[in-house]
Structure 1
Amino acid sequence: MTAVCVMVLGTTSGAGKSWLTTALCRHYARQGLKVAPFKAQNMSNNARVVAPTLHRLRGSLPPEGADAPWGGPAAHRGGEIGSAQYFQSLAARAEPDVRMNPLLLKPEADTHSQVVLMGEVSRALSDMPWRGRSDKVWPAIAAALDALRAENDVVVIEGAGSPAEINLHASDIVNMRVARHAQARCLLVTDIDRGGAFAHLYGTWALLPEDERALIKGFVLNKFRGDAGLLAPAPQMLQDLTGVPVVATLPMWWQHGLPEEDGVFDDRTRAAGAVKKTIAVIAWPRISNLDEFQPLKNVPGVRLVWARTPADCAGADWIVLPGSKSTAADLQWLRAQGLDQAVAGHAAKGGAVLGICGGLQVLGEALIDTHGIDGNAPGLGLLPLVTAFDADKTVRRTTAAFATLTGPWAALSGVRASGYEIHHGQTAQHPAMAAKGDIAREVMPGLAWQNAAGHVLGCYLHGLFEDPAVLQALFGARVPTLETVFDGLADFLQTHVEPGVLDDLIRKN
């Protein structure tokens, strides 16, 4: 089979490409079609671990056992993809696969990103100038897309940013180069809540070459508030100028339940009901895997707060130190804001503190970096642990059970949790402190430790709050499943798209 490709482009970042792609994946999967998502390049520190795959892309990988041209091992044993594509694959009822996001850029600083190609970190590509990278990675990107097209009825492709950035067009590997390669039927979505939506749509269309304009089959107005009838005559005027119809006007929808790819939560997205527990998540600059907190937004009575100042932590029941793509730098930022004292003060009063991955490392006594991975730094000293950064990266799915815990985390005792690990750091008991009798209780072998008083817990396992058993233990709550969320997205899309449009997009000529 050769899949029909539907592509979602946006006039800007944040226009709604990711959730619209997810909704399309579920819509077409519900038609009984075999569907896969695809995004050639994603820039995000929200990543998921995918299971090992036996797929090998002809022409994009060297022989088994040989070194890959980008510096990583040749054999595919699974790896990282952007969280958005992970969720899109689940919406498509497909097994997540590194081919769905062949290139992942994980920002480590304002001018540098770690490059992950086909699920594996490439030091060579990470050190390469951005503009020189495109020709090196395009063969693997094209091979990944072609392999998915050969195995599916429909491939739903997500673009990145805007396709009309004329300074980037010549080196494009994620928008119109992909669209041309796949001859994709494209939807162009804009955020009308920002204002200037019709100018954004027209300007994007006008800046594209004529052959690329021909691939755009419909405009989508997203996040609209009010009476859609008041938009007239603008949609018809836009069609008269471009020949492209407005095929959907999607109302503002705050609580659809899908994690925002790079967004944050605020009171507009807080679950309804009286607040019984406030959880402050430290929002340091290089936060990673923030999407894993989405389920907490859906727990009745729980309010989440991004903490950027000590005042944001005031009154919190829990303080959570999340993952970080640059742990030492984020720890420095934490101290500059005075948040280290806020966390220490909260712990001194017996308040619950949870560190996840980088947050766990920060809670320890020291960060030791002999490989130039992250940086050296003294930790917060809330757990008698030390973390050494390893040149090799741990990337795996993990299932393990908690031992007996005490204090505010006691409810997790014996709970078997599933999640994923993505970290360079290797953490262990601080030997000198152990000799003095200050020992962290290892409550999940090699993965989680608790202080003697019981209120500070550190864990390498991402995705804890996505595990129903963990939510039930901590909150006695069930939250909407991802299946419910995906179906809700598809239902919403079907309600607001013009009749016949979704079928026309995949109709073979």
Structure 2
Amino acid sequence: MGTTLMVQGTTSDAGKSVLVAGLARVLHRRGLSVVPFKPQNMALNSAVTADGGEIGRAQALQAAACGLDPHTDMNPVLLKPSSDQGAQVIIHGRPAAELDARAYHDYKPVALEAVLASHRRLTAQYAHVLVEGAGSPAEINLRAGDIANMGFAEAVDCPVILVADIDRGGVFAHLVGTLALLSETERTRVQGFVINRFRGDIGLLQPGLDWLEQETGKPVLGVIPYLHGLYLDAEDALPREAMPSTPADALKVVVPALPRISNHTDFDPLRLHPAVDLRFVGPGEALQPADLVVLPGSKSVRADLAWLREQGWEEALQRHVRYGGKVLGICGGFQMLGHAVYDPDGVEGQSGSTPGLGWLDIETRLAPEKHLERVRGDRVLDREARVEGYEIHAGVTTGPGLGRPLLQLEHGADGARNADDAVAGTYVHGVFDTSDAAEALLQWAGMRSGMEKGEDLATARERGLERLADSLEEHLDMNCILTLLQAEPKEPVA
């Protein structure tokens, strides 16, 4: 049976996902058999797995770090929020229930069975399992029945590393306070600390590190520097770090940050593109002048469409198109561009229908069965271009507009365009991920010829993973990590 090491954090976004991804790549480079695992994830950024299910995007990234295809056992419980109090519960890659927070609390014993079954399968196949916790283990109100942090660690009897983000401030309070709120057996389980996103002179931090070790009796296993410009797929939150500046004549792309925006990693290639100025526009902001407006995916299409109208953005979009701008919809955004979205079964909330924006001659009926598929193709608009992505949607779209598709995929045509090619939509997430597809779409949107091209997202991801692994090799006590995993101290493979 494989050994297990868990990374927990003092807060959300402390660096758990990144640390697991980096450690996974370090171990993979050393020729060790390693697999990622997150018992329970709450995120609207998801990925389609090799076995046809849905997991958190972060676990797909971590799988890539291990040189593996993503699998539903890597994230057996995924919660996709549909409101402030409710979420779709996905078990082993498939929707199982729509529950509010109190009902999910009662459902946890069922979820725990799925978690432990997946963990058993992974430990039977791989020598080492790297586990990512969720949020903080010190949420007192969530301790009973916990399956995401110490509840899981206690169930499988694994050691824990605690990571904190010094860039947020209060790192020593976060670490000591978290320990203080754990039970005695849980405190014993914590084997050391990692401090993330440090900038400055490490010598000035050393007195604090010495105090922390003396106060807690636990070692600091490493201080990871702030890696400016590091690209890795985001687990859920919109990007915090600004990307490098773009030229004055860069193509301007605006994305409305819908309340239930999903899979915003679709826009990572545009954030990284040297000739694209990408902006997310939030509530209360005016829709800025742009060459291209992209309506993103949404967990609740009708509710987000109503919200978009409340912001006054429908009129702004009409002006945008009238004056020559382009509009692209992805998944839920594609559905919004049609004549109507019908939800007779209440798949995304209260049953009913909502008029669409009306630019595409299509309509969509939401259905309980979710469509999950990894796709590839060879045409975008009317030119040859490699496409690789995935579909995650509950809608069935029909109408004459599908006769002018946006993409040609291996399984057939996808998407739609209006008569004057000003508005288009697709169900494919990751439509910008290959440089071929991105350039075809950006030139359609008005990018002038001769501008610097972007690169495939997979290339940027690999560069980020290698850079992260190099940093961990330099700044972490890898001998201690390997000891906790009961792994041989192999050197990296050249």
Q: Same fold (TM over 0.5)?
A: yes
**Residue pair 1:365, 1:380 contacting (<8 A) in 2 also:** yes
Counterpart secondary structure, 2:425:
strand
**Residue pair 2:380, 2:437 contacting (<8 A) in 1 also:** no
In the alignment, which residue of structure 2 is the partner of 1:497?
476
Q: Shift in Å at residue 283 of structure 1?
A: 0.3
Aligned length: 468
**Residue pair 2:85, 2:101 contacting (<8 A) in 1 also:** no
In the alignment, which residue of structure 2 is the partner of 1:271?
244
**Residue pair 2:165, 2:171 contacting (<8 A) in 1 also:** yes
Aligned equivalents of 1:257, 1:264: Cα separation in 2: 13
Find the partner of 1:389 among 366, 384, 395: 366
The answer on 1:453 being equivalent to 2:425 is: no
**Residue pair 2:347, 2:366 contacting (<8 A) in 1 also:** yes
In the alignment, which residue of structure 1 is the partner of 2:448?
none
Aligned equivalents of 1:500, 1:312: Cα separation in 2: 53
In the alignment, which residue of structure 2 is the partner of 1:35?
34
In the alignment, which residue of structure 1 is the partner of 2:398?
428
Counterpart secondary structure, 2:395:
strand
Superposition pairs for residues 95-494 of structure 1, below 5 Å? 95-123=69-97, 129-265=103-239, 268-275=241-248, 276-308=250-282, 312-374=286-348, 375-402=352-379, 404-405=381-382, 413-429=383-399, 441-444=404-407, 445=412, 447-474=414-441, 476-479=453-456, 480-494=459-473
Aligned equivalents of 1:314, 1:508: Cα separation in 2: 53
**Residue pair 2:406, 2:424 contacting (<8 A) in 1 also:** no
Change (3 A) 1:330 1:152: same
Bigger shift: residues 313-322 or 480-489: 480-489
**Residue pair 2:50, 2:71 contacting (<8 A) in 1 also:** yes
Aligned equivalents of 2:99, 2:92: Cα separation in 1: 12
Q: Shift in Å at residue 308 of structure 1?
A: 2.1
Q: CA RMSD in A?
A: 2.1
- 2:39 partner amino acid: A
**Residue pair 1:440, 1:451 contacting (<8 A) in 2 also:** no
**Residue pair 1:308, 1:337 contacting (<8 A) in 2 also:** no
**Residue pair 1:138, 1:173 contacting (<8 A) in 2 also:** yes
- 2:398 partner amino acid: A
- 1:504 partner amino acid: T
Counterpart secondary structure, 1:170:
coil
Counterpart secondary structure, 1:129:
helix
Aligned equivalents of 1:297, 1:285: Cα separation in 2: 20
- 1:414 partner amino acid: E
Aligned equivalents of 1:6, 1:158: Cα separation in 2: 9
Q: Shift in Å at residue 42 of structure 1?
A: 0.4
Change (3 A) 1:246 1:377: same
The answer on 1:12 being equivalent to 2:11 is: yes
Percent identity of paired positions between Structure 1 and Structure 2: 41
Q: Shift in Å at residue 258 of structure 1?
A: 0.3
Counterpart secondary structure, 1:477:
coil
Aligned equivalents of 1:27, 1:262: Cα separation in 2: 24
- 1:116 partner amino acid: I
Counterpart secondary structure, 1:487:
helix
In the alignment, which residue of structure 1 is the partner of 2:491?
none
In the alignment, which residue of structure 1 is the partner of 2:62?
88
Change (3 A) 1:499 1:400: closer
Counterpart secondary structure, 1:316:
coil
Unaligned runs of 5+ in 2: 443-452, 489-494
Aligned equivalents of 1:265, 1:165: Cα separation in 2: 25
**Residue pair 2:38, 2:76 contacting (<8 A) in 1 also:** yes
Aligned equivalents of 1:481, 1:330: Cα separation in 2: 31
Deviations 1:183-210, CA, capped at 9 Å, x for gaps: 3232111111221110110011111112
Change (3 A) 1:505 1:311: same
Q: Shift in Å at residue 87 of structure 1?
A: 0.7
Aligned equivalents of 1:140, 1:194: Cα separation in 2: 34
Deviations 1:3-23, CA, capped at 9 Å, x for gaps: 221211100111111111111
Aligned equivalents of 1:239, 1:461: Cα separation in 2: 49
Q: Shift in Å at residue 171 of structure 1?
A: 1.4
Change (3 A) 1:179 1:309: closer
Counterpart secondary structure, 1:415:
strand
Aligned equivalents of 2:153, 2:315: Cα separation in 1: 51
**Residue pair 2:380, 2:441 contacting (<8 A) in 1 also:** no
